[in-house]
Structure 1
Amino acid sequence: MIKAIKIYLFLTALCCATGLQLYAQTSLVIKEGELWYGGAVNEAHLMPFKDGYSLDMHGDTRGNQAVPLLVSTKGRFIWSEEPFKFAFEKNRLLISQTKSAVTIDSTGKNLKEAFSIASKRFFPSKNKLPDTLLFSKPQYNTWIELVYNQNQVDILNYARAIIDNGFPPGVLMIDDNWADYYGRFDFRADRFTDAKAMVDTLHQLGFKVMLWVSPFVSPDTEVFRELLAKKLLLLDNGGDAGLQWEKAEKPAIIPWWNGYSSVVDFTNPDAKKWFLGRLEHMVNTYHLDGFKFDAGDAEFYPPNGLAFKKVSPNEHSRLWGEIGLSFPLNEYRAMWKMGGEPLVQRLRDKKHNWEDLQKLIPHLVTAGLMGYQFTCPDMIGGGEYGSFIGKDKLDEQLVVRSAQCSALMPMMQFSAAPWRVLSKQNLAAVKKAVDVRARYTPYLMEQVKNSAASGQPIARSMEYEFPNQGFAEVQGQFMLGSKYLIAPVLTNGSTKTVYLPKGAWKDDLGKKIKGPVAITIEVALDRLPVFERINP
Structure 2
Amino acid sequence: MYKTTAQETVIPIEKDEKWFGGVVNEAHLMPLAEGYDFDLYGNTGTNQAVPLLVSTKGKFIWSEEPFRFAIKNNQITIANRGETITVDSLGKNLRDAYLNASKRFFPSKGQLPDTLLFTRPQYNTWIELVYNQNQKDILTYAKSIIDNGFPPGVLMIDDNWADYYGRFDFRPDRFSDARGMVDTLHQMGFKVMLWISPFISPDTEVFRELQAKKYLLYDGSDKKSWKDADKPMIVNWWNGYSAVMDFTNPEAEKWFHDRLEYMVRTYHLDGFKLDAGDADFYPVNAISFRPATPNEHSRLWGNLGKYYPLNEYRAMWKMGGEPLVQRLRDKKHSWEDLQKLIPHMTVAGLLGYQFTCPDMIGGGEFGSFIGRDNLDEELVVRSASCSALMPMMQFSVAPWRVLSEDNLMAVKKLVAIRQQYVPYIMELVRRSAETGEPIVRTMEYEFPHQGMAEIQDQFMLGEKYLVAPVVTKENKRKINLPKGVWKSDEGETFVGPKIIEKHIPIDRLPVFELLNKE
Calculate the TM-score normalised by the size of structure 1. Answer: 0.95
Aligned partner of residue 156 in structure 1, secondary structure: helix
Listed one character per residue, the Cα deviations across residues 169-213 of structure 1 (whole Å, up to 9, x for unaligned) are 000000000000000000000000000000000000000000000
Rounded Cα–Cα distance in structure 2 between residues aligned with 1:36 and 1:42: 15
Which residue in 1 is equivalent to 2:325?
Answer: 344
**Residue among 451, 457, 470 paired with 2:438:** 457
Residue 364 (str. 1) matches residue 338 (str. 2):
no
Amino acid at match of 1:499: N
Whether 2:70 is the aligned partner of 1:87: answer yes
1:97 CA displacement: 2.1
Segments of structure 2 that go 5 or more residues without pairing to the other structure are none
- Cα distance in 2, alignment partners of residues 172 and 59 from structure 1: 32
- How far the C-alpha of 1:243 sits from its partner, in A, is 1.8
The residue aligned with 1:16 is none
Rounded to whole Å, the distance in 1 between the matches of 2:397 and 2:244 is 30
Does 2:167 match 1:184? yes
Out of 332-341 and 303-312, give the one that drifted further: 303-312
Partner of 2:511: 530
State the one-letter code of the partner of 2:150. Answer: F
Question: What CA deviation, in whole Å up to 9, does each residue of 1:396-430 have, x standing for no partner?
Answer: 00000000100000000000000000000000000
SS in 2 for 1:104: strand
Name the residue aligned to 1:116: 99
Shift of 1:8: 7.6
Q: Answer yes or no: is the 8 Å Cα contact 1:276–1:323 preserved in 2.
A: yes
Partners of 1:82 and 1:99 lie apart in 2 by: 10
2:221 is the alignment partner of 1:215: no
Alpha-carbon separation, structure 2, partners of 1:443 and 1:98: 44
Superposition misfits of 4+ residues, deviation over 6 angstroms: none
Residue 490 of structure 2 corresponds to: 509
Using a 3 Å threshold, how does the CA distance of structure 1 residues 97 and 388 change in structure 2: closer, same or farther? farther
TM superposition shift of 1:386: 4.2
Equivalent of 1:286 in 267, 270, 289: 267
> What residue is the counterpart of 2:37 in the other structure?
54
2:227 is paired with a residue whose SS is: helix
* Mapped contact 1:506–1:513 kept (Cα < 8 A): yes
**Mapped pair 1:320 → 2:288:** no
Say if 1:85 and 1:98, in contact at 8 Å, map to a contact too. no
Letter in 1 for 2:428: Q
Structure 1 pair 120–8 and aligned structure 2 pair: CA distance change class (3 A): farther
User: Does the CA contact (< 8 Å) of 2:20 and 2:30 recur in 1?
Assistant: yes
Residue matched to 2:207:
224
Q: Is the 8 A contact 1:135 1:411 kept in 2?
A: yes
* Paired residue type of 2:384: A
Equivalent in the alignment of 1:301:
282
Superposed displacement of residue 26, structure 1:
1.7
1:491 corresponds to: 472
Kept in 2, the 8 Å contact 1:9–1:101? The answer is no
Greater Cα shift, 93-102 or 104-113? 93-102
Q: Is 1:396 matched with 2:396?
A: no
Q: Does 1:440 align with 2:424?
A: no
The two structures have a TM-score, normalised by structure 2, of 0.98
1 CA distance for matches of 2:472 and 2:302? 35
Instruction: Classify the secondary structure of the residue corresponding to 2:155.
Output: strand
Distance 2:66 2:27 in 1: 18
Residue 71 of structure 2 aligns with an amino acid whose one-letter code is: F
What whole-Å deviation, never above 9, does each CA across 1:117-165 have from its counterpart, x for those lacking one? 0000000000100000000000000000000000000000000000000
1:19 maps to which residue?
none
Rounded Cα–Cα distance in structure 2 between residues aligned with 1:118 and 1:304: 32
Shift of 1:384: 2.2
In structure 1, what is the Cα distance between the partners aligned to 2:370 and 2:228? 47
Residues 182-191 or 27-36, more deviating: 27-36
Structure 1 residue 100 displacement after superposition: 1.5
Deviations for 1:192-240, whole angstroms, at most 9, x for unmatched residues?
A: 0000000000000000000000000000000000000000000111x23
The amino acid of 1:73's aligned partner reads T
Structure 1 pair 189–9 and aligned structure 2 pair: CA distance change class (3 A): farther
Show structure 1 runs of 5+ residues with no match: 11-23
In the alignment, the residues of structure 1 paired with residue 171 and residue 513 of structure 2 have an alpha-carbon distance, to the nearest angstrom, of: 50
Q: Secondary structure of the residue that 2:189 maps to in structure 1?
A: coil
Q: Structure 1 residues 303, 386: CA separation in 2 closer, same or farther (over 3 Å shift)?
A: farther
Does the Cα contact within 8 Å between 2:368 and 2:375 map onto a contact in 1? no
